[in-house]
């Protein structure tokens, strides 16, 4: 709460995410995933859930720019690799390829250029079938129009987590492997909704 009052645009939430939202995020991590990058872990709600899910702490790479949260994470997860850097710098650090990027970043309050830099950096370090997992409080994809098309990404929207305050929806972005016009005709069987590359 205090960090939100100090840096509202950066923190963008009055309280840490609920355990219910953390579980919904971690459910989207691909089976047999080993190395995970987490962006904007804050107090470490998703980090804890990832460790409980079986991800080894030393296989976690965290990016957190808030010094208070970074100190807390260093204390709570001493074996994780912690970068006190913006997520935009993910492509420039050692480590990976990552099987998933779990993001608690406030994408909705970022500019299109910031969003594109983050997704571009993440997909530069993700394995070819890696997933970028993001939640949003909004009613639609948190990634601004045109960016998925430009970076050749598809996305899947999963269920809304009503137990979270405010309710949140988890989105999973992946690099497209087939032309957009084919994706247009092939909704995924394992998800509630699949959207295709939007027109640029």
Distance in angstroms (rounded) separating the CA atoms of residues 168 and 52: 22
Q: Which is nearer to ligand SAM, 161 or 197 (CB)?
A: 161
- What is the b/e burial string over 7-46, where b = at least 16 CB atoms within 10 angstroms of the residue's CB? eeebbbbeebbbeebbebbbebbbeebebbbbbbbbbbbb
The binder of ligand SAM chosen from 24, 37, 40, 100 (CB under 6 A): 40
Asked if residue 150 lies in contact with residue 125, where contact means CB atoms within 8 angstroms, the answer is no
Segment contacting ligand SAM by CB under 6 A, of 37-45, 155-163, 176-184, 189-197 = 37-45
Please tell me whether the peptide bond between 97 and the residue prior to it is cis, using omega within 30 degrees of 0.
yes
Q: Which is nearer to ligand SAM, 106 or 149 (CB)?
A: 106
Q: How far is the CB of 39 from ligand SAM (least distance, A)?
A: 6
Count of C-beta atoms within a 10 Å radius of residue 180: 16
Q: How far is the CB of 63 from ligand SAM (least distance, A)?
A: 5
Residue 106 within binding range of ligand SAM, rule CB under 6 A: yes
Size of the site for ligand SAM (CB under 6 A): 22
Q: Which is nearer to ligand SAM, 3 or 152 (CB)?
A: 3
The binder of ligand SAM chosen from 29, 42, 50, 125 (CB under 6 A): 42
User: Where do runs of H (alpha helix) occur along the chain?
Assistant: 2-6, 8-11, 19-27, 45-52, 67-76, 112-125, 147-151, 180-183
The binder of ligand SAM chosen from 11, 36, 107, 172 (CB under 6 A): 11
- At 121 the three-state DSSP class reads helix
Residue numbers 59-98 binding ligand SAM by CB under 6 A: 63-66, 69, 86-87
Among candidates 125, 124, 142, which has minimal Cα distance to 195?
142
Binding site for ligand SAM (CB under 6 A): 10-13, 16-17, 39-42, 45-46, 63-66, 69, 86-87, 104-106
């Amino acid at each position: 709460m205090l960090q939100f009052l100090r840096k509202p645009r950066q923190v963008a939430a009055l309280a840490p995410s609920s355990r219910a939202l953390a579980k919904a995020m971690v459910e989207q991590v691909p089976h047999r995933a080993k190395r995970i990058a987490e962006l904007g872990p804050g107090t470490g709600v998703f980090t804890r859930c990832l460790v409980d899910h079986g991800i080894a702490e030393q296989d976690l790479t965290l990016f957190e720019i808030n010094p208070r949260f970074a100190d807390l994470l260093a204390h709570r997860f001493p074996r994780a690799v912690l970068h006190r850097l913006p997520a935009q710098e993910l492509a420039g650090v050692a480590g990976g390829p990552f099987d998933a990027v779990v993001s608690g970043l406030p994408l909705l309050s970022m500019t299109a250029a910031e969003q594109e830099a983050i997704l571009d950096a993440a997909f530069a370090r993700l394995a070819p079938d890696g997933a970028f997992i993001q939640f949003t409080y909004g009613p639609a994809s948190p990634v601004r129009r045109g960016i998925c098309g430009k970076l050749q990404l598809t996305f899947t929207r999963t269920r809304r987590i009503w137990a979270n305050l405010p309710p949140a929806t988890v989105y999973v972005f992946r690099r497209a492997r087939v032309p957009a016009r084919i994706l247009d005709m092939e909704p995924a069987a394992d998800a509630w909704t699949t959207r295709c590359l939007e027109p640029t």
